Amino acid sequence: MPSNCCSTEESNHKHLHNGENHDGHDHDHGDSSSFKTYIPAIISLTMLILGIAMDYFDQSEFFQSEIVRIIWYGIAYLPVGFPVMKEAFGIALKLDFFNEFSLMSIATIGAFILGEYPEGVAVMLFYAVGELFQSSAVNRAKNNIKALLDVRPNEANVFRNNQWQTVNPESVEIGETIQIKVGEKVPLDGIMLSELSSFNTAALTGESKPNSIKKDETVLAGMLNLEKVIEIQTTKKFEDSSLAKILQMVQEASSRKAKTELFIRKFAKIYTPIVFFLAVALTFIPYFFVANYEFQTWFYRALVFLVISCPCALVISIPLGYFGGIGAASQNGILFKGSNYLDLMAKVNTVVMDKTGTLTEGVFKVQQINSELERNELLNYLSAIESNSTHPIAKAIVEFHPSELKAESVEEISGHGLKGIVNNKEILAGNGKLLQKFNISYDAKIDEIVESIVLLAIDRKYAGYVTIADEIKQDAKQAISEMKQNGVSQTVMLSGDKDTIVQKVAKELKIDTAFGNLLPENKVEKVQELKQNPKNVIAFVGDGINDAPVLALSDVGIAMGGMGSDAAIETADVVIQTDQPSKISTAIKIGRKTKQIVIQNIALAFGVKIIVLILGAGGLATMWEAVFADVGVAFLAILNAIRIQNLKF
């Protein structure tokens, strides 16, 4: 039987693989769809219906005997009641006496003491059925995580000792060559050695559109090879692969709770003992004020009070609502690292974005070459030093003109460029600020060039420049428009690129404010300025290593996770696996919808319970109404919580 409406959500996260509950015992949470899980409830329901039928329609002496009725309804009670009483006893040993298990056990045993056998069985039966629905709903919410777990390759075909060997992916070392056949999943991250193939990247990005990858480009674990047998050289160990990190992020998402969720947990711990003592008071205090006091009447009302007040609807549906939001987001290629970020995302009114790789493709191409030297000589020096950088501009230069020269003693000067030795000559390659830093003069008109530009100096003398062009992402304009439609009042772009390019992109995308020529520390300063206004709830979106400090500083850090840097992905609170800026507004919508559903569930649970509590205390509500107030409301709240997974965003 499913158990513990308060801890099931937590234990399902913590023990996703082994189905272990908080008490250390194995429970059948993960298999609630199997028929055997429903057998106890079916047995109890069948005996309850037959018992009620015999109570009303069988006039024979057999079922009129009180002992026969106790035995019959006792047998009907045990399949659903015993697991709950066992759980109550187990928790009581830990000195926790006030929980929904003890409430339900006391209420139903009390009903038996009063001779209300059918009601005692019915309360526990419907409680058990509610738990089954809850377990089923949690499993439904976990489907996205299970789907991710299913895409983990369990073997790799590696070239060792002059032959291909099938091994566990965890045993493959960095730098080894592995082979992936058509229809197989890539087991580890690596560099493509074969010329070309197409891949289904749905496991990583949520997008099923095939992606063509060429020689020397990056292939990620979890991609499905669609076209031909390929070979890749591994660049990361299995546990460090992109897929492993995604799985870890999703599974750890439940550890970061939203404030509402944390409040409800604390509230339940205080609320349950208060309810218990109120029920005791309801039983005995009327003795001093009611003329014709009957213990049996007030004891029954107290039992009704206990059943009504069980906090299951709140404690189940609120975490489930957040879990459903995380599931809905992952369906859309967005990974939230915790339910607290869903709450924050719902409040975001200021979105600050990096330019390169976030709003633009980050795929640069050399456009123009202006050299004081022979053209190839300039390109050889420039390519040699840029081969030591992972920046997209550096990659574009190396791809345009590979160099046989080797750079030594290369030093990266943050926000400026590179310094190194090539052919015993000091080489400086970077922006205008780099040359100014070393007091190297060049034509001032070069600073007026709009495109991205890399200047070269040899032995402290200006040698020339190349211009580089980048493309705006296809959905970037739509992304800014949708953000504004979804309540984002301020959009800001920060970039280390030339201010002329930054302003041009900002104007084209209709971004409110844009700043260029920024060093990493300048980006931090700009976000700090925005944070001085307490009304600003800031989301920063970036993809580079230099974005990590700003991602950590913002209220919500969003990383472009498809091809973003590991540092950005690890620092961020939300990861967009598709690299699409339009997903920012999708994340906002999911956050707001989740919050809306959580508030609806709180209002529903409190509203119905307060009404029926008053009726129960006044003797106007029976156990049947109590069952609706507890299990019925929990069931409605669960249905409302899982609704988010079926919505289109």
Q: What digits encode the pLDDT tens for the residues 6-59? A: 433 333 333 323 333 333 333 334 444 467 888 998 999 999 999 888 888 776
Say if residue 44 is in the same domain as residue 134.
yes
Say if residue 349 is in the same domain as residue 419.
no
- Measured CA to CA, the distance from residue 246 to residue 252 in angstroms comes to 10
Say if residue 35 is in the same domain as residue 134.
yes
How much is the mean pLDDT over the chain? 81
Say if residue 133 is in the same domain as residue 7.
yes
Which residues contact residue 62 at a Cβ distance below 8 angstroms, ignoring those fewer than 6 apart?
68
Domain assignment present for residue 252? The answer is no
Domain assignment present for residue 382? The answer is yes
> Strand 461-469 relative to strand 452-458: parallel, antiparallel, unpaired?
antiparallel
pLDDT, position 3? 40
Say if residue 354 is in the same domain as residue 478.
yes
CATH classification of the domain holding 491: 3.40.50.1000
Say if residue 92 is in the same domain as residue 235.
no
Catalytic residue, candidates 26, 216, 343, 354: 354
Question: Taking a C-beta distance cutoff of 8 angstroms, is the pair 441, 447 a contact?
Answer: no
Domain assignment present for residue 623? The answer is no
* Sequence letter at residue 168: N
Question: Taking a C-beta distance cutoff of 8 angstroms, is the pair 106, 98 a contact?
Answer: no
Helix 312-331 vs helix 339-347: crossing angle, to nearest 10: 80
Out of 538, 562, 590, a domain closes at: 590
pLDDT, position 94? 86
pLDDT, position 127? 79
Our answer to whether residue 354 is catalytic in this structure is yes
Domain assignment present for residue 29? The answer is yes
CA atoms within 13 A on the CB side of 194: 18
* pTM for this predicted structure: 0.65
pLDDT, position 134? 66
- Measured CA to CA, the distance from residue 215 to residue 124 in angstroms comes to 63
Helix 259-284 vs helix 339-347: crossing angle, to nearest 10: 110
Say if residue 339 is in the same domain as residue 423.
no
Say if residue 120 is in the same domain as residue 6.
yes
Out of 187, 218, 240, a domain closes at: 240
Domain assignment present for residue 595? The answer is no
Say if residue 438 is in the same domain as residue 422.
yes
Q: Which two tokens stand for residue 443?
A: 């034509």
Say if residue 405 is in the same domain as residue 379.
yes
Query: Which stretches of the chain score pLDDT less than 70?
Result: 1-34, 59-60, 134, 137-152, 202-209, 242-265, 268, 312-313, 544-546, 562-569
- Measured CA to CA, the distance from residue 410 to residue 422 in angstroms comes to 9
Domain assignment present for residue 268? The answer is no
Sheet containing strand 211-214, edge to edge, reads: 211-214, 196-200, 224-225
Say if residue 530 is in the same domain as residue 461.
no
Say if residue 498 is in the same domain as residue 356.
yes
**CA 548 from centre of chain:** 19
Domains of the chain: total: 4
CATH classification of the domain holding 397: 3.40.1110.10
Domain assignment present for residue 314? The answer is no
pLDDT, position 243? 65
Task: Domain of residue 45: give its range.
Answer: 1-141
Domain assignment present for residue 524? The answer is yes
Which residues contact residue 257 at a Cβ distance below 8 angstroms, ignoring those fewer than 6 apart?
265, 319, 322, 338, 339, 340
What does the pLDDT look like over 316-355, one tens digit per residue? 777 778 878 888 888 888 888 878 889 899 999 999 998 8
